[in-house]
Amino acid sequence: MGRVIGIDLGTTNSVIAFYEGSRSEVIAGTNGDRTTPSVVGRGSQGEWLVGEVAKRQMATRPQQTFYSLKRLMGLRFDEVADITNKLPYEVVRGEHDLACVRVDDKPMTPVEISAMILRALRDRAEEMLGESVERAVITVPAYFNDAQRQATRDAGKIAGLEVLRIINEPTAAALAYGLDSGQTKSIAVYDLGGGTFDISILNLADDVIEVLSTGGDTQLGGDDFDQAIIDWARQEFLEQTGVDLLEDPMARGRLKETAERAKVELSQSLESHLQVPFVATVDGVPQHLDLTLSRARFERLVQPLIDRTLECCLAALEDAGMQPLDVDDVVLVGGGTRVPSVQRAVEELFAKMPNKSVHPDEVVALGAAIQAGVLDGTVEDVLLLDVIPLSIGLETLGGVVTKVLERNTTVPARRSQIFSTVQDNQKSVNVHVVQGEREMAVDNRSLARFELTGIPAAKKGVPQIEVTFDVDADGILKVSARDLGTGVEQEVCVRDASNLSEDEVERMLAEAGERHEEDLARRRRAEARHTAEELLLNVEETLEKSLGRDVPTAECDRLRELCERVRDALENSVSSFEHDELVEATEALQEAAHRFADFIYQGSH
Ligand code: AMP
């Protein structure tokens, strides 16, 4: 059995890590990149692109480039209504009412597309570790409900991975952080990612990591900070030109890219320029977006979002029976925590400087790898006591919810409830399982409905059917039922009616397997093209800059010749034969470019 890997399947970026020796390590790609953008794109030739190459086509093919899919994972179409109009790609209603994206003319589930990210990560791990990788621990936001967890597990399965454990991101962060600390203390993990916000209050003592409470918002993250900038820029542009940029998907894609860049820049600078040339035309005249956003204005725009995160923190503290000052350490996780006003707000709330010793982008994957190490026996003596994020209950008379498992119950957990009949000779009982904190069933998320059948004829209230709710260590619910009178076990299937069925997952797994070789070849081709294009641009720029400098003409001519060869190969690279030529031409150009660089630097001494 090969080793188990840890995967942080992030909204924006994903990271993969493994445990070896006495520490976990991030598995970098061949070009040294430690994170992979969680972006999947359908290229112009119908090929699937994953990661950096997919992200690069975001502005030019916005409707076929899928990002932030984690915000749609496992949810129904109606549940994502408020985010779909902010996405440049189309979200459609798929089978079982699932939120799907439109790929060409067909709906595709976010699960299937996320599986491609996981598959690419798995390929990377296999390539870098030189062994086959079949088992993984995957992290999810603590606030993910049962359906979202199931969906994540299904995505792993479609990627050919046996998902040994789903763990909460903040718990993983604490695991990575806690193993080194060796102290007894309470910590708060404040995790602001691309699409989700999580807060967890944990207790670390003697290699036991106990989650005391968890909270957050699955629809609040760095994307919303970008959106605040987009809304502001859109309004400014509308006032200047009368053009609404959000009506054009291409302009929307470019604006999104620019807004995110501005946000990141504002973490360092006090001002950022948003420039999108030729973004629209008015009466045949091209219009350019050119705005300046100060950090102060940005902070005002995002303050309501930061306030929402603080409210979640206070609620989680209350659930843990603590005050902000009781927390010994605050750990920041996720790219969103790089925003200075976020750090300030957290510092003010907890009255202490947040701990920045752990890398916010990698800590979750590192923690997942530790858990992976625990599961494959490499790591000893770490006990993880996680909790369920939302109460699980049953709809009872009048549509009221009776809670069976309260939120923040430590998992694994098991509770039983006795059911009976309300009529004489009643043969079956309907059970509706919901998840959430609201009083009425309709206001919570419906997890499953099932029918207990085959009840022997008896007077009402006499039959006793014991229904047992088991939440496993992944936070996923399983239900079993037993007729106490006859001792007969009832088959209960709790697959969410709007989730993928086992058959569908199997079908997708088979399809992904069939597609894999072809996809891999296509991906390699796309990556080779991008490498060639970048090198070409780089060399041409170098040649231009070195004009008039003391470089042998023969070297310049050789470089130009090789550029021409790469350009030709780029034009022809469709078949695998021509693809080989592209790779060879690129390598030759790379080698010559290095030699050329030696000349330049020797000449400059
Ligand atoms: P994660 O899901 O943890 O990878 O976080 C991704 C989010 O962090 C995205 O919304 C990024 O735009 C945001 N982000 C990354 N770096 C920075 C930065 N330096 N300043 C502000 N936001 C950032």
pLDDT by residue (tens digit) across 14-37? 999 999 888 899 999 877 889 999
Can you give the pTM of this predicted structure?
0.77
Ligand 1 atom with minimal separation from the 267 CA:
20
Q: Which of 67, 264, 295 to mutate to test the pocket of ligand 1 (most atoms within 8 A of CB)?
A: 264
Q: What is the pLDDT of residue 270?
A: 93
Q: What is the pLDDT of residue 182?
A: 65
Q: Is 194 in the pocket of ligand 1 (CB under 6 A)?
A: yes
* Domain spanning 4-220+306-385, CATH class: alpha beta
Q: Is 335 in the pocket of ligand 1 (CB under 6 A)?
A: yes
For residue 389 and ligand 1, the question of a CB distance below 6 A is answered with no
| Ligand 1 contact via 13 beta carbon (within 6 Å) | yes
Instruction: Name the residues annotated as catalytic.
Output: 8, 70, 169, 191
- Based on C-alpha coordinates, what's the Rg of the chain? 27
pLDDT tens profile 122-146: 999 999 999 999 999 999 988 888 8
Q: What is the DSSP letter of 409?
A: P
State yes or no: pLDDT of 110 exceeds 60. Answer: yes
**Closest C-alpha to ligand 1, atom 14:** 335
Best of 7, 8, 11, 34 for a ligand 1 pocket test (most atoms within 8 Å of beta carbon) = 11
Closest atom of ligand 1 relative to the 360 alpha carbon: 3
pLDDT band at 312 (very low <50, low <70, confident <90, very high): very high
What digits encode the pLDDT tens for the residues 422-461? 888 888 888 888 888 888 888 888 888 878 888 888 888 8
Cβ–ligand 1 distance for 141 under 6 Å, the answer: no
pLDDT in tens, 147-167: 899 999 999 999 999 999 999
pLDDT digits (tens, 9 = 90+) for 44-72: 878 899 999 899 888 888 899 999 999 99
* CA 193 to centroid of ligand 1, rounded, Å: 6
| Cβ–ligand 1 contact at 338 (below 6 Å) | yes
Nearest ligand 1 atom to alpha carbon 13: 4
Q: Which of 483-510 are b and which e, b meaning 16 or more Cβ less than 10 Å from the residue's Cβ?
A: beeeeeebebebebebbbeeebbeebbe
Q: Distances from the Cα of 93 to the Cαs of 84, 107, 199, 225, in angstroms?
A: 11, 8, 31, 27
pLDDT of residue 491: 58
At residue 297, does pLDDT exceed 90? yes
CB of 267 sitting under 6 A from ligand 1: yes
Q: What confidence score (pLDDT) does residue 497 get?
A: 46
Average pLDDT rounded to a whole number, residues 79-84: 86
Beta bridge partners of 401: 395
The CA 222 to ligand 1 mean position distance, Å, reads: 6
pLDDT of residue 448: 80
The ranges assigned to domains in the chain are: 4-220+306-385, 388-500, 503-603
Distance 194 CA to ligand 1 centre (A): 6
Query: Is the pLDDT confidence value at 490 over 80?
Result: no
- Round to whole Å and give the CA distance between 528 and 193: 31
Q: Measured from the CB, is residue 11 less than 6 Å from ligand 1? A: yes
Task: Mean pLDDT check: name the lowest of 168-172, 461-465, 541-545.
Answer: 541-545
388-500, what's its fold? Substrate Binding Domain Of DNAk; Chain A, domain 1 (2.60.34)
Atom number in ligand 1 closest to CA 263: 21
Options 1.20.1270, 1.10.3210, 1.10.1330, 2.115.10; which CATH number does 503-603 get? 1.20.1270
* 490/320 Cα distance (integer angstroms): 37
For the record, the structure tokens of 386 come out as 């996680």
Distance (angstroms) between ligand 1 centre and the Cα of 260 equals 8
10 lines ligand 1 (CB under 6 A): yes
Tens-digit pLDDT profile for residues 343-380: 999 999 999 999 877 788 899 999 999 999 988 888 87
Q: Which amino acid is at 536?
A: L
What are the residue ranges of helices labelled H in 130-209? 146-158, 169-181
The owner of tokens 């000349």 is: 599
Average pLDDT, the chain: 87
Contact 256, 229 (CB under 8 A): no
State in Å: Cα 220 to ligand 1 middle.
Answer: 13
Q: Is residue 289 pLDDT above 90, yes or no?
A: yes
525 lines ligand 1 (CB under 6 A): no
Question: Shortest CA distance to 127 belongs to which of 588, 527, 424?
Answer: 527
The stretches of 130-219 forming alpha helices (DSSP H) are 146-158, 169-181
- Chain centroid to CA 468: 32
Longest dimension (CA), the chain: 102
